[in-house]
Amino acid sequence: MVLRINSGWHDRNRIREGATFEERLDWHLAHARSCNCRPVPAKIAGELRKRGLL
């Protein structure tokens, strides 16, 4: 599997330092829909699945 970065998306969507868990969930969900550079971290993926969002 070849992972490709969507650098334009990353340039426009930087996650801020000290982001809350909810902000991180939102960022990673948008990231998963827009970029294929890396998998969603396990803790985030588990919470998104629990909420029926992934």
pTM score, two decimals?
A: 0.84
For residue 3, the SS3 value is coil
Please give the mean pLDDT across all residues of the chain: 92
Burial of 17 (0-12, 13-18, 19+ CB in 10 A): exposed
pLDDT interval class at 36 (50, 70, 90): confident
